[in-house]
């Protein structure tokens, strides 16, 4: 076999791992609620007319979600986070891509934290 004795010994402990049924039920319940809330949003949007204000609102949602995720880190962070925010904003302006801007911001904060 390809496994060393140490690897087999380390893996043998996993055979005795059990999961509490309440924990499993909680995880399944949380997954179900998450899936239903996402599906519910899509279902409810079937009856919302896509007027220009609704379209503008829907286009603003990704930015609002990113701001809500980034704001606490920015408030508690130091200069690497603030510079990474500027890099993210510039990347968004240049590329027009939310995903590209987030990737540039993450790369910037990782690099800047190495310097700090």
Nearest to 111 by CA among 93, 76, 87: 87
pTM > 0.85: no
The model's confidence at residue 3, banded by pLDDT at 50, 70 and 90, is: low
Greatest mean pLDDT among 9-13, 14-18, 112-116 lies in: 112-116
What pLDDT, in 10s, does the model give residues 12-35?
A: 666 666 788 999 999 999 999 999
> Higher pLDDT residue, 7 or 51?
51
Strand ranges for 19-112 from DSSP E: none
Find the helix or strand (DSSP H, E) in which 97 lies.
none
Nearest to 81 by CA among 54, 102, 110: 110
Nearest to 109 by CA among 72, 83, 90, 70: 83
d(CA 71, CA 28): 30
Domain ranges of the chain: 1-48, 51-116
C-beta neighbour count of 113 within 10 angstroms: 13
């Amino acid at each position: 076999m390809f496994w060393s004795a140490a690897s087999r010994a380390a893996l043998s402990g996993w055979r005795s791992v059990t999961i509490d049924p309440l924990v499993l039920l909680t995880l399944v319940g949380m997954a179900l609620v998450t899936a239903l809330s996402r599906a519910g949003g899509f279902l409810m949007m079937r009856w919302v007319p896509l007027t220009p204000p609704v379209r503008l609102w829907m286009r603003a949602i990704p930015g609002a979600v990113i701001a809500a995720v980034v704001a606490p880190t920015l408030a508690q962070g130091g200069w690497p986070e603030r510079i990474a925010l500027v890099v993210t904003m510039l990347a968004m302006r240049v590329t027009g891509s939310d995903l590209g801007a987030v990737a540039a911001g993450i790369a910037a904060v990782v690099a800047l934290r190495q310097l700090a």
